[in-house]
């Protein structure tokens, strides 16, 4: 099968969209498929650039502009030319909003079947940053998303909450497709590594319990909620990631460790050093870092809203707190950190959490994705807006 992936985000940017695309490409290569990537490029003077190839597949970059530390690819007719030359069996649009729109339009013009991956709750982000006009702009964003996804033969949502959102807003032809996790990289046994022990000692020199967060440091992640637990005695917050909120969080969360961007084995060791994992965002369509934390054997504490509802089995693999009730997060953290049986409870939850995600490998999820590709390729006709 020949697959053209048009993605709104790609390396060197690290986020859920980039991770998903990279993992799918690796699995497509392993299974003998052919692929092409169309992605935003980076400036010639950037310290990190988009690779020319990934997993052995060519990466075609388009002109992009920076928007709030993101690279936004500019749509152009060159995408249609690239797709025409590659002649894919299917076009995969990853989190289409700007560049991906042009990819879907080009696919329709060329008579190519297409699958769109819904991954970012853009209307909620837009509402958050639009002040008094938030509701109006969010409705406009849903109208734009509806126009985008109406061009795709199939839209895949990562969680039941996201799927329900799409259906409520009249997005046609939807189905569920989750995300994989590397359960070998993120593994409880990594806690026994000497490197992990040294890391933990550096983060908790006085034996503090470590509550970790992994993800972008940005307003949409609602990290201000962590102020509820920032001064908890015997506990230290560790935030792994970068973003525009870093300076504000350093002031808001005194004593917290801002560990910066981590990847691969270094990231896995940070998970392994934690005692519990906490998430704060209420606008997540999925929550990949929650899966990684579960694979690492950590209890997960997350808001009872959006993607985490699918990922956390309340009381068994972690705790879901009420994001609308002040103190709910602090109460959840206290129940897992305090008391004579807290350590045993964390261990039990972590083991159950890992058991729940260990079979969600990227090869298995990519096999499901290829089946979705085949489904639209076998359609009797192309859907059009």
Give residue 137's pLDDT. Answer: 82
Q: Could you tell me which residues come within 8 angstroms of residue 44 by beta carbon, excluding any fewer than 6 positions away?
A: none
Q: Locate tokens 């083991």: which residue? A: 351
How much is the mean pLDDT over the chain?
93
For the residues of 315-326, what is the DSSP string, one character each? TTTEEEE-TTST
Give residue 65's pLDDT. Answer: 87
Q: Is the pLDDT of residue 128 over 80?
A: no
Average pLDDT over residues 211-222: 95
Give residue 130's pLDDT. Answer: 62
pTM for this predicted structure: 0.88
Residues in a beta bridge with 90: 3
| CATH code for the part of the protein at 188-357 | 3.40.50.2000
Give residue 69's pLDDT. Answer: 64
CA-CA distance, 357 to 353, in Å (whole number)?
A: 7
Residue bearing the bigger pLDDT, 256 or 127: 256
Tokens of 272: 């392994």
Residue bearing the bigger pLDDT, 59 or 65: 59
188-357 has the same fold as 2-180+361-377:
yes
Q: Is the pLDDT of residue 68 over 80?
A: no
Q: Which CATH number fits domain 2-180+361-377: 3.40.50.2000, 3.30.70.60, 1.10.1040.10, 3.50.50.60?
A: 3.40.50.2000
Give residue 380's pLDDT. Answer: 45
Q: Is the pLDDT of residue 373 over 70?
A: yes
pLDDT digit string (tens) for 284-312? 999 999 999 999 999 999 999 999 999 99
276-278 vs 300-303, strand pairing mode: parallel
Q: Would you kindly state where each structural domain of the chain is located, as residue ranges?
A: 2-180+361-377, 188-357
Q: Is the pLDDT of residue 384 over 50?
A: no
Predicted confidence band of residue 71 (pLDDT cuts 50, 70, 90): confident
CA-CA distance, 224 to 219, in Å (whole number)?
A: 8
CA-CA distance, 95 to 6, in Å (whole number)?
A: 9
CA 346 to chain centre: 24
Host H or E run for residue 92: strand 90-94
Residue bearing the bigger pLDDT, 147 or 383: 147
Give residue 134's pLDDT. Answer: 66
């Amino acid at each position: 099968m020949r697959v053209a992936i048009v993605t709104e985000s790609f390396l060197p940017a690290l986020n859920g969209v980039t991770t998903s695309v990279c993992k799918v490409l690796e699995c497509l290569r392993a299974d003998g498929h052919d692929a092409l990537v169309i992605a935003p490029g980076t400036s010639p003077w950037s310290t990190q650039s988009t690779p020319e190839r990934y997993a052995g597949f060519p990466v075609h970059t388009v002109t992009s502009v920076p928007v709030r530390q993101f690279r936004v690819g500019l749509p152009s007719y060159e995408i249609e030319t690239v797709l025409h030359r590659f002649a894919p069996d299917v076009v995969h649009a990853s989190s289409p909003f700007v560049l991906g729109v042009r990819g879907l339009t080009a696919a329709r013009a060329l008579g190519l079947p297409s699958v769109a991956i819904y991954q970012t709750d853009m209307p909620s982000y837009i509402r958050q940053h639009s002040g008094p006009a938030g509701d109006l702009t969010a409705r406009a964003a849903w109208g734009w998303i509806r126009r985008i996804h109406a061009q795709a033969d199939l839209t895949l949502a990562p969680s039941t909450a996201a799927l329900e959102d799409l259906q409520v807003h009249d997005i046609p032809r939807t189905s569920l497709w989750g995300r994989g996790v590397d359960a070998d990289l993120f593994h409880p046994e990594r806690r026994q590594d000497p490197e992990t022990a040294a890391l933990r000692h550096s983060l908790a020199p006085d034996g503090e319990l470590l509550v970790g967060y992994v993800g972008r440091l940005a307003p949409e992640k609602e990290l201000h909620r962590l102020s509820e637990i920032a001064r908890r005695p015997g506990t230290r917050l560790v935030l792994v990631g970068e973003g525009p909120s870093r300076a504000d969080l350093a002031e808001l969360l005194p004593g917290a460790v801002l560990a910066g961007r981590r990847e691969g084995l270094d990231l896995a060791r940070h998970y392994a050093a934690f005692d519990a994992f906490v998430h704060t965002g209420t606008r997540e369509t999925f929550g990949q870092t929650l899966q990684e934390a579960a694979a690492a054997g950590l209890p997960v504490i997350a808001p009872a809203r959006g993607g985490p509802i699918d990922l956390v089995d309340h009381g068994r693999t972690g705790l879901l707190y009420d994001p609308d009730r002040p103190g709910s997060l602090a109460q959840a953290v206290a129940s897992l950190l305090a008391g004579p049986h807290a350590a045993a409870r964390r261990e039990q939850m972590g083991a159950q959490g890992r058991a729940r995600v260990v079979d969600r490998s990227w090869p298995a999820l990519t096999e499901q994705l290829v089946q979705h590709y085949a489904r639209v390729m076998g359609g009797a006709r192309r859907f059009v807006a």
